Structures are given as C-alpha cells and as structure tokens.
Amino acid sequence: MSAVKLNAQPGLAPAQQPPATSGADERVGQVTWFKRLFGRPEFASISGALLVFIFFGISAGGSGMFNLDGIVNWSQVAAYLGIIAIGACVLMIAGEFDLSIGSMIGFAGMMIAIPSVYFGWPVWLAILFAFAGSMALGWLNGYLVIKTRLPSFIVTLAFLFILRGLTLALSIMFANRTIVSGVGTLAAHDWLATLLFHGEVGTGLFEWLASAGVITALDNGAPLVKGIPKVIVWWAALALVSSFVLARTRIGNWIFAVGGDANAAKNVGVPVKAIKISLFVFTAFCACLFATLQVFDVGSAAADRGMQKEFEAIIAAVIGGALLTGGYGSVVGACFGALIFGVVQIGITYTDINSDWFRVFLGVMLLIAVLFNNFVRSRVTEAR
C-alpha cells in the first residue's frame, strides 16, 4: 500500500490521488496553497459554519444564544447528530449508505429500557445487550450487502421499516404505549450509566467558576450550567479517533481505497468485504451510542426516537464534503455539518424566524453542498 500513500492528499481516494511529481515547477508553487485549501473536503462546511455564526451573531447575538447555557444547548444538539454523522460519513467514504440509523436509535433505546424496567436486568447489562444487539444487526446489514450484492440503500431501507416496526410492537406489547419510562431513575444508581452516559463532566470546575463569579450562578449558588454534557465529550472523542484512523492508519487508507474503486482495492490486497462489514457495525455502534445517551438524558425510551435522523446524518456528512459516490470525505467536515444543524435548530428559536423554515434550510444546504462538492471533485480531477 506504499504506492497509495505516495503523494497522497487528505480526503481523496487512492484512485483520485494526483501522480507523484519530480522536480520543482514554479507554476505549481503559485497555486498549491489555493488548490489545497479549496480541495479540502471540510472547506465548505467550515465556511458554512462561519456564515451561520455570523448570521446568528447579528440576528440573535443579544438574546443569550451565545451565553454559556445557550452554547451548551446548541452544542448538545450538534453532538447528538454529530455522533451518527461520523458513522454515516465513514460509511459513505467507503461507498455505502445505512438508512437504518434512525430506526436503530429507537430500537436500541427499547433494548435498554424493556429489559431493565420489565425484566429486572441491571442497567449495565441492558446497555451491553443493546450495544451487542445493535452491532450484530449492523453486521447483518453489511453481510447481506456483501453477500447479495444488492445496493446498501435497498438492504438498509428494509431494515429501516423492520426495526421501526419492531420498536413500535415491543413498546405496545410491554408498556401498552409507545413510551417506556423509568429508565432514568434506574440509571441514577447504575455504575456504568453514571460513569459513561449519564450526567456531566467537570461539575467541580463549573461549581468553582460559579462561586468565583466567572459563570452565571443560581440563587442558591449552584452553577446555571452544571458541566459539559457527556454527549459532547463522546462526540469529541469519536471525532478525534475517527479522524486519526482515516488520516494516519492503514485502515483509513483502505476505507478511501474501497470507496474510490473497490475492485482495484481488492486487486492490491485490501480486505474489501471486511472493511465494509466493519463500517456497518461501526455505524450501528454510533446509533446505539446516540440512543443510550438520549435514553439516560430524557429518562425514557420512545418508539419514535430517531425518526428521520438517518437523513439528517447523511445531509451533515454531505455538507461536510462526503461524496455520494464514495472515496472522498472528512469526519471533521461531517462534525461541522452537524454543528451547522445544531446552531440553526436552536438559534432559530432566538430569532423572529418561524421554526418551520428549518427544514427548508436543510434542503437548501444539501443542494448547495452537493453542487459544491461536485464542482470541487471536477476541479481536483482536472488538476491531475
């Protein structure tokens, strides 16, 4: 694989990499910085995020949106979406889709809530059960895509309906309604839930900052913001690890190779089947992580959780620079795409703009991102 890494540009599949050059060329030196900046997958999403911040800084700057509590609110929304956007982005780089992400969120929530509430399982065991079950379903998705050679769009669309139907049926069977409550109370006394998924981190620091008058405190002296929600910590950790794997490891190189040209990658020894199945498992892991954090944050599981989140995750990945054809993308870009979602979804409530325009914004952003990414790809391939 050394030939793949030679003269490699971040975000490009091996088949799209420009050929190695020898010697110096003054013409190349004049445009290299521009091509490198313009050709980065995350360029559009970072630019879009800056524009969104400027817009809301002007229209909602004095409304508290950029106070500490406001920042935590929209960061938390962005973090939830960012977790599944990372999974969707990496899978799209490998040339596949998973439309069952949203349904997996609802189903994983039920796999935690029903055993712990109705079967008396310890919450930690229900969490492990949910992750094992979700990842097994992700493996099944990937296996069926590889074995049948059907488009992943079709296979995962089928699982979208299967899992959503199972979630609804199980919730009605056990709770006689679509919501299973009481998980939050049980989680408050569970070691695994409190350690990794429930509550905030840095509470001591925030209490000290409140007592020192650095951040806003309530009348009883407690900080208005208790700490950093764990969903934000998970988002940051997942983004760092995924970015490192894509940019600095052989596996990351293989993922780009598989998305760029699976047959060529197979011919040079890349384990195409194992890579694709593993990424479906990773996407399911991200969906279950989303569900686990949400269940303990809200204190319940619901059959309609995760509705349409698969499309939002894909949109965030596309805004972040991922191509629908595979072989190109960036986890950092997907995270900025999720950040745009969070800022707009919460920021619009701080303005006089009707919240119904949020979906219009998503559609416009998707169209602009696709057009821009197509333009960048054409410029990069022309420069080869």
Confidence of residue 220 (pLDDT cuts 50, 70, 90): confident
pLDDT above 60 for 15:
no
Give the pLDDT mean for 134-151: 96
Please enumerate in sequence order all residues whose Cβ is within 8 A of that of 45, keeping only pairs 6 or more positions apart, or say none: 319, 320, 321, 333, 334, 336, 337, 340, 369
Predicted local distance difference test score (pLDDT) of residue 10 = 52
Give the pLDDT mean for 210-224: 89
Give the Cα-Cα-Cα angle 259, 317, 357 (nearest 5 degrees): 150
Other Cβ atoms within 10 Å of 223 Cβ, number: 21
Confidence of residue 376 (pLDDT cuts 50, 70, 90): low
Confidence of residue 46 (pLDDT cuts 50, 70, 90): confident
- Residue 80's identity, in one-letter code, is Y
Q: Give the least confident one: 12-26, 118-132, 338-352, 366-380.
A: 12-26
Predicted local distance difference test score (pLDDT) of residue 344 = 87
β-bridge partners, 300 = 181
Read off φ and ψ for residue 176, nearest 5 degrees: 60, 20
Q: Give the least confident one: 12-16, 117-121, 144-148, 239-243.
A: 12-16
Q: What is the dihedral of CA 52, 58, 63, 69, to 10 degrees?
A: 40
Q: Which domains, and CATH codes, for the chain?
A: 41-378 (1.10.3470)
pLDDT above 60 for 30:
no
Predicted local distance difference test score (pLDDT) of residue 25 = 47
Task: Work out the mean pLDDT of the chain and round it to a whole number.
Answer: 87
Other Cβ atoms within 10 Å of 176 Cβ, number: 7
pLDDT in tens, 287-337: 999 999 999 999 999 999 999 899 999 989 988 888 888 888 899 999 999
- Residue 142's identity, in one-letter code, is G
Q: Are 332 and 320 in contact (CB under 8 A)?
A: yes
Whole-angstrom Cα distance, residue 139 to residue 134?
9
Confidence of residue 24 (pLDDT cuts 50, 70, 90): very low
Predicted local distance difference test score (pLDDT) of residue 363 = 80
How far CA 345 is from CA of 84, 267, 273, 284, 350, in Å, comes to 17, 45, 38, 25, 10
pLDDT in tens, 54-83: 888 888 767 788 899 999 999 999 999 999
pLDDT above 70 for 19:
no
Whole-angstrom Cα distance, residue 256 to residue 272?
11
Predicted local distance difference test score (pLDDT) of residue 29 = 45
Predicted local distance difference test score (pLDDT) of residue 58 = 87
Whole-angstrom Cα distance, residue 340 to residue 46?
9
37 versus 103: the higher-pLDDT residue is 103
Predicted local distance difference test score (pLDDT) of residue 382 = 60
Confidence of residue 250 (pLDDT cuts 50, 70, 90): very high
pLDDT above 70 for 229:
yes
pLDDT > 90: what percent of the chain? Answer: 62
Query: Quick one: how far is CA 297 from the chain centroid?
Result: 18
pLDDT > 70: what percent of the chain? Answer: 86
